């Protein structure tokens, strides 16, 4: 039984989906006005693994993500650079999708743009107006917070406590906490509506989109911790008011922040590293390992040193996979007397691994079990004979785990290099190998040292 932590109840709950063996999962996507940073990547990798695991456990997962392609930030950025806002949004949407691909985030079924759901957005606002949950002013249409008694149930806040405002409330609003559903604007880009030209507020696109694909109620809604208030709170207010059905979402899941030197990474603090910058320095799987070695709800502190640690840790798994491959080419018997022993270790690890994943997707624990498995198996290799069958079983077990966590342990290496230098180095290596066969240690060591000076490290088997 899969248990997950529900922000709404502040406790772990058993996963009971609306329809048996089906999960409708929505995660808030990016506002596409700039390149995404590794804090975003943390969230999307986490949900990628969650979706992968649900699939592994036999669920048919419908993973939906929105793309906010209309928003003040996009408009402002476009104005600064003299560009068309929609063009700008399309550009960074494409960059986002590239980044996700590079990070191995493959589980999203549909990316839905806000601008392609204007009819649904307008229809939902009309419903809210009809039912008296919203009102129109000269500046727009607003949700009337005082009509929704559950307001604050997700973030555990009372409306009375929400009187601190960094931005002066619009004087036309009935309550300071009322939020815009429709902003009346005649500056491009705008769309026609029953209330005149304008554009949607921030929160309405998500409920319009989920309403369209999932209906008024669905299983899991995810996002970063910073979205709990006000964004997710507003979503609940809109959808539960519009549909009259509660709850809109059964399980709310939130990822912890990625921090740098203890501070949240964010655009406004200027302490961000983009996904592209990161991937120039480190392979994507190193970052994925780094993300998965902390629980998804915990804060995670980013630094070069920790990434190096992750890289070294990940190498251990890759080396183990390599060792299996080497053994397999050694001409071992098909079956052996210790097959059962190896199978026992494997099955034991698998069941513990799944138990860890069932427990609110505890990837750090799951990884530590994988390391236990590697150590124990290595030890057995020393003490006992093995067979092809055992090795194949171990190999496919690693593949199985790799698919859940999004690693390809079969992939050759963590190294990057360009072709010509690679070929030149091969010539040197081969020459040196011949020298070694002649036991010319002096010259072969010299080659190794000189290559070492160039940061090319040779390791003899």
Partner RNA sequence: GCCAAGGUAGCUUAGAGGCGAAGCGGUGGACUGCAGAUCCAUUACACGGGAGUUCAAAUCUCUCCCUUGGCUCCA
Do residues 88 and 77 make contact, with C-beta atoms less than 8 angstroms apart?
A: yes
CB 226 to RNA: min, Å: 4
Q: Which string of b and e fits 42-53 if b means at least 16 CB within 10 Å?
A: bbbbbbbbbbbb
Rounded to whole angstroms, the Cα distance separating 72 from 333 reads: 67
Question: Which residues inside 285-304 make contact with RNA, applying CB under 7 A?
Answer: 293-295, 297-301
- Nearer Cβ to RNA (39/402): 39
Question: Which residues inside 420-459 make contact with RNA, applying CB under 7 A?
Answer: 436, 441, 444-445, 448, 457-459
- Nearer Cβ to RNA (20/207): 207
- Nearer Cβ to RNA (419/453): 453
Residue 125 parent element (H or E): helix 118-130
Residue 452 parent element (H or E): helix 441-453
Q: Output phi, psi for 344, to 5 deg.
A: -65, -45
Rounded to whole angstroms, the Cα distance separating 262 from 348 reads: 38
Question: Which residues inside 198-257 make contact with RNA, applying CB under 7 A?
Answer: 202, 223-231, 255-257
- Nearer Cβ to RNA (212/322): 322
Hey, is 433 helix, strand or coil? helix
Question: Which residues inside 15-74 make contact with RNA, applying CB under 7 A?
Answer: 28-31, 39-40, 42-43, 68, 73
Question: Which residues inside 143-162 make contact with RNA, applying CB under 7 A?
Answer: 145, 155-158, 161-162
The two beta strands, 263-264 and 258-260, are antiparallel
- Nearer Cβ to RNA (137/293): 293
- Nearer Cβ to RNA (302/334): 302
Two tokens, residue 111? 């990316």
Pick the binder of RNA from 22, 379, 434, 450 (CB under 7 A). Answer: 379
Scanning 209-217, 266-274, 278-286, 411-419 for contacts with RNA by CB under 7 A, the matching segment is: 266-274
Which residues face 191 on adjacent strands?
Answer: 198
Two tokens, residue 45? 């990798």
Q: Is 375 in the site for RNA (CB under 7 A)?
A: yes
Rounded to whole angstroms, the Cα distance separating 8 from 12 reads: 10
Pick the binder of RNA from 146, 312, 410, 421 (CB under 7 A). Answer: 312
Hey, is 249 helix, strand or coil? strand
Pick the binder of RNA from 57, 243, 309, 338 (CB under 7 A). Answer: 309
CB 130 to RNA: min, Å: 23
């Amino acid at each position: 039984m899969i248990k997950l932590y529900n922000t709404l109840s502040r406790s772990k709950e058993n996963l009971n989906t609306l329809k048996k063996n089906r999960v409708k999962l929505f995660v808030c996507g990016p506002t596409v006005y700039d390149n995404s940073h590794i804090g975003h990547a943390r969230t999307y990798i986490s949900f990628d693994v969650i979706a992968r695991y649900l699939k592994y456990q036999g669920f048919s997962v419908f993973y939906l993500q929105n793309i906010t392609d209309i928003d003040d930030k996009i408009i402002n950025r476009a104005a600064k650079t003299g560009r068309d806002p929609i063009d700008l949004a399309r550009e960074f949407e494409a960059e986002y999708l590239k980044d996700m691909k590079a990070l191995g985030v493959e589980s999203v079924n549909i990316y839905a743009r806000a601008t392609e759901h204007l009819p649904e957005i307008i229809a939902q606002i009309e419903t809210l107006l009809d039912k008296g949950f919203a009102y129109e002013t000269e500046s727009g249409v607003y949700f009337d917070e005082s009509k929704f008694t559950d307001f604050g149930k997700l973030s555990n806040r009372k409306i009375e406590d929400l009187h601190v405002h960094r931005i002066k409330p619009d004087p036309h609003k009935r309550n300071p906490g009322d939020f815009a559903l429709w902003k009346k604007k005649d500056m491009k880009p705008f769309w026609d509506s029953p209330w005149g030209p304008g554009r949607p507020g921030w929160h309405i696109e998500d409920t319009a989109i989920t309403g369209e694909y999932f209906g008024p109620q669905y299983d899991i809604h995810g996002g970063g911790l910073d979205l709990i208030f006000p964004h997710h709170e507003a979503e609940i207010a809109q959808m539960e008011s519009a549909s009259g059905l509660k709850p809109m979402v059964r399980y709310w899941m939130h990822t912890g922040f990625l921090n740098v030197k203890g501070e949240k990474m964010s655009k406004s603090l200027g302490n961000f590293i983009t996904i592209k910058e990161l991937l120039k320095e480190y392979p994507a799987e190193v970052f994925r390992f780094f993300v998965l070695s902390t629980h998804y709800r915990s804060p995670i502190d980013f630094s070069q040193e920790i990434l190096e640690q992750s890289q070294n840790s990940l190498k251990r798994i890759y080396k183990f996979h390599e060792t299996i491959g080497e053994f397999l080419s050694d001409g071992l018997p098909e079956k052996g007397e210790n097959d059962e022993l190896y199978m026992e270790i494997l099955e034991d690890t698998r069941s513990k691994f799944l138990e860890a994943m069932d427990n609110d997707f505890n990837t750090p624990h799951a990884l530590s079990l994988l390391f236990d498995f590697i150590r124990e198996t290595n030890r057995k290799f020393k003490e006992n004979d093995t067979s092809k069958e055992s090795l194949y079983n171990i190999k496919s077990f690693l593949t199985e785990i790799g698919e859940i966590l999004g690693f390809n342990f079969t992939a050759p290496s963590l190294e990057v290099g360009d072709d010509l230098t690679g070929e030149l180095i091969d010539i040197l290596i081969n020459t040196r190998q011949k020298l070694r066969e002649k036991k010319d240690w002096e010259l072969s060591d010299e080659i190794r040292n000189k290559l070492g000076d160039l940061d090319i490290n040779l390791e003899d088997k």
